[in-house]
Structure 1
Amino acid sequence: MNATLSLAYVTPATTPSWKRWLVYSPLARIVIFMAAFIVLNQSSSALVHALVPGMVKTPMSSALVYLAVFVLPAILTYVFLARIVERRKPEELAVRRWPGALGGLLAGALLFSTVVGVLWLLGSYHVTGFNDHANWLPALLMVGLGAGIGEEILFRGALFRIVEEGLGTWWALLISALFFGFAHAGNPGATLWSSAAIAIEAGLLFGVLYHVTRSLPICMGLHAAWNFCQGTVYGIPVSGQAADGWLVSTRTGPGWLSGGVFGAEASVIALGLCSLCTLALLVVALRRGSLVPCRPWQQLLQRFSRR
């Protein structure tokens, strides 16, 4: 299998050299994407505050603002990148891909439930009550669908995909996972270990899942279900953020097992189970021969030869 056939974008051979570097190179497209996203993000934030001055901060208002100033700009910026800059249809977001989101939701719920099940068997996870008044809708919109859609567009749709096109799959996995992990470094209770754990268990898993499926909706579904189950179903902090869950729970034991105040994502159980899934997907990719090789020097020579 020719690995490059699965790539979403390849620079046309007839493109002038200056345009290859300033518009179509991986670095240029990432810079264009981030610049456009920041402009839309800041514009959306200013518009929201102008339209609703003195907004009372509630869980629902915070969720709606998050959708308006982060998720919507991410979607619009990605469509702009694909349609205007790359001049293509974003097949990774095509309608035929969206049924896969259901599979992602089921996989995410099953995966995190397995993490909780193992913690319970080891005597670390304890249910102390049931909260039928849990404020689940803001959590679904914000840490579930909002984070699932917005973060997957940024870290898999833009960063992983574009770096893979330029430096190959292995570098794309490493770079996107590191950025994803340490994007959570400012969260409550975050440590160097928690950031590294998220980079390995989630950054690598979502990256390989996108590589194997070439579908953003399935990644979004898995991400959303993982977050929603963690906080709203099982009552565990989501990346350090306090949870209002249907199950009122505590975790005991050493931090490396329970995840401590950051939540189960900093547990070796989550790290181990997600790593097993990542390895399984890598086996699929290796058998397909779909891993994109790193050939920056050959690409550099080809670009100079076309001048």
Structure 2
Amino acid sequence: MNEMVAFTTPASAPAWKRWLIFSPLARIVIYAACFFAVGYPLFHLATALHLGGKDASPLERNVVGLVLEFISILLVYIVAVRLVERRRVSELALRQLPTYGIAGLIAGFLLLSTMTLLLWLMGSYHVLSVNPDAAWLPALLGMGIATGIAEETLFRGVLYRISEEGLGTWAALAISALFFGGAHLNNPNATLWSALAIAIEAGILLALVFHLTRSLWMVIGLHAAWNFSEGTIYGFAVSGFDVKGIIVPSIIGSDWVTGGKFGVEGSVVAVGVSAGISAVLLAIAIRRKTIVAPSWVRKRKALS
């Protein structure tokens, strides 16, 4: 078995299991159904118990949100993979958390710092003041860690990984990136360009990071630090959501350059930086020969 592929259909599996349980599409549907089956009643239970409601403090709301995302997404993913794929969930191995998790946090911070520095050098970003009262902890728990857990488990752990197992790396990159960009179309101040920008800069980049590391902790950390650095540190909007950051900036210039009200994610600067890094990661993957061929190609080679 290709070491980059976590799961292959057991040779002894009957035809109905191959299609209804083990096929890539079936597993994606099964996992999505599990997330919904646990998450929907769990979030309604929290509402009924008035946990994290409108009257709660920002910290309480985000703590409750983090716990709910952890249970309904991360734990459900682990249990579902164990039951369906019958394997150790190596992409969430706890031994990787201190290394890959911290590496992801550092990478996300450096990435957003680079984008901000470039905008500053271009005269589009200016520091006006510092806000010592910024609610950094709720932002870290909610828009940072909780969002990182939910979106990376769904888009990289499920959609990218399983698509790659069936259709190969190239198709999985395109599919997961487009779905990731499309998922942001309903955000405030979103446009077709901002969704495409996120698909290119984050969808492809995060998928390639996962491809090379096979660690969800790495992309969760990177995603969390990206959001936290973008909004809570540097004061940009985050995917269209207004954030009161520690730095209060003046952002001037065209939306094309700065990202406007959507945030730096909608900037050609962000697209350029991320695309450049993605090109390097892709070159590494090609050099290491980790690109996964479609399942039918792998099967044909195994039989030849």
Residue 73 of structure 1 pairs with residue 44 of structure 2: no
> What pairs up with 1:148-187 in 2 under 5 angstroms?
148-187=148-187
Matched, 1:34 2:32: yes
Equivalences, count = 300
Q: Which whole-Å CA distance do the structure 1 matches of 2:67 and 2:104 have between them?
A: 24
* CA RMSD, Structure 1 to Structure 2 (Å): 1.8
Aligned to 1:48: 46
TM-score normalized with structure 2 length: 0.94
Give, in whole Å, the separation in 2 of the partners of 1:151 and 1:236. Answer: 20
Residue by residue over 1:22-41, the C-alpha shift from the partner in whole angstroms, topping out at 9 and shown as x without a partner, is: 10100000000001101111
Q: Which residue of 2 aligns with 1:94?
A: 93
Q: Secondary structure at the match of 2:16?
A: helix
Amino acid at match of 1:37: F
Q: Would the aligned equivalents of 1:136 and 1:244 in 2 still touch at CA under 8 Å?
A: no
Q: Contact 2:66 / 2:145 at 8 angstroms: preserved in 1? A: no
Distance 1:215 1:259, change over 3 A: same
Q: What letter matches 2:59 in structure 1?
A: M
Identity %: 49
Higher relative contact order (CA 8 A, sep 6+): 1
1:8 is aligned to: 6
- TM-score by length of structure 1 reads 0.93
Structure 1 SS opposite 2:244: coil
Report Cα offsets for 1:236-291 as digits up to 9, x if no partner. 11101111111001211111101011010000000000011111110110001110
Moved more, 60-69 or 172-181: 60-69
Q: In structure 2, what is the Cα distance between the partners aligned to 1:26 and 1:62?
A: 35
Separation of aligned partners in 1, 2:6 and 2:204: 19
**Is the aligned partner of 1:20 residue 2:22?**
no
Residue number in structure 2 paired with 1:121: 121
Structure 1's consecutive aligned runs of 4 or more residues displaced over 6 angstroms after TM superposition are: none
SS at match of 1:6: coil
Deviation at 1:66, TM superposition (A): 2.3
SS of residue in 1 equivalent to 2:3: helix
Structure 1 unaligned runs (5+)?
none
